[in-house]
Amino acid sequence: MTTATVPPPVEVARPRPPAPRTGRQKMNRTLKYALLLLFVFVVLIPAYVLFITSFKGPSDADPSTAWLLPTTWETAGWAKAWETLAPALGRTFAMVIPASIISAFLGSMNGFVLSRWRFPYANVVFTLILFGMFIPYQAVMIPLTQLMQGLGVPNGIPSLLVLHIVYGLPICTLIFRNYYESVPGELIEAARMDGAGLLRTYASVILPISTPGFVVVLIWQFTSAWNDYLFAAFFSSGSNGPVTIALSFLAGGQLTDYAASMAGALIASLPTLLVYIILGKYFVGGLMSGSVKG
């Protein structure tokens, strides 16, 4: 009767403990964190001044004492700022959200066609679209005003909506074209083999994988349209304009209410800040997703 041989035990390699940091490595690490803290401090200085000034009273809110904490914390500036900006905030959302979504979808379709449909003079068309990015707004402001009046587009939110859609198309087209260049051609060929045309391929294959590109474009368009002042100054007024116009009226005048102005600046910047907080982690990933062709 034979006995089963027992295989020798297998020795498992133990992970080596990390090497202790040298004095130079510790110094580099400390220097790196010190520089990061310095940068954070510099970036947060304006926010600190805005915040503490917004809670100061009329006699306490003075540029010479901007660094000092309020002697008495008051909310009158916030109440005045909200009363002034609330109607403009609603109008700005009504302009920014449709402008961002429409320009994103049009840019997505342009980018798909220009990246996958090799029609004659496609590069010329793409160059002409990008040319709109390099035209200074100041150079075309008077012709744009005459064009809007000729088309009968009312001043205020309707004009700003059209302008932000049109002027957002070049950058949206560029981002989506670069993104779709990284999409494997096998997906497009498989859709064609199944009998899908150009629109069907875009709707069924390309659009579902375009989330990173849409995140980048929506953040970009939302921020650009929200912070715009030049178009708003030419095509709107205080009664029908966006929040940037209302903020300028709040800060204007001979006797500036610094507390209300600072509170208004914080209120006006809060939507874009929330957008970056919520979607910021997808922004860099969306930009990098089209940088390498798959």
Is residue 3 situated within a structural domain? no
Using CA atoms in the order 143, 145, 148, 149, what is the torsion angle rounded to 10 degrees?
A: -110
For residue range 24-80, list pLDDT tens digits in order. Answer: 778 888 899 999 999 999 988 988 988 999 898 877 777 777 788 888 888 888 999
Is residue 71 situated within a structural domain? no
Confidence class for position 15, pLDDT limits 50, 70, 90: low
Is residue 84 situated within a structural domain? yes
> 259: domain range?
76-289
Check residue 18 and report its DSSP letter.
Answer: P
3-state secondary structure of 261: helix
Is residue 5 situated within a structural domain? no
Is residue 95 situated within a structural domain? yes
Tell me which residue of 282, 258, 287 sits closest to 66, measured CA to CA. Answer: 258
**Total residues found in the chain within this entry:** 294
3-state secondary structure of 257: coil
Is residue 270 situated within a structural domain? yes
For position 188, what pLDDT does the model report?
Answer: 81
Least confident of 48-57, 133-142, 204-213, 249-258: 249-258
- To the question of pTM greater than 0.85 for the whole model, the response is no
Cα dihedral 94, 257, 57, 269 sign: positive
For position 292, what pLDDT does the model report?
Answer: 46
For position 37, what pLDDT does the model report?
Answer: 92
Is residue 68 situated within a structural domain? no
- The domain that holds 262 is classified in CATH as 1.10.3720.10
**Total domains, the chain:** 1
For residue range 199-215, list pLDDT tens digits in order. Answer: 888 888 888 888 888 98
Question: From CA 220, how far away is CA 100, in angstroms rounded?
Answer: 8
More confident site: 17 or 62: 62
State the average pLDDT over residues 9-27. 65
Tell me which residue of 173, 162, 152, 253 sits closest to 217, measured CA to CA. Answer: 173
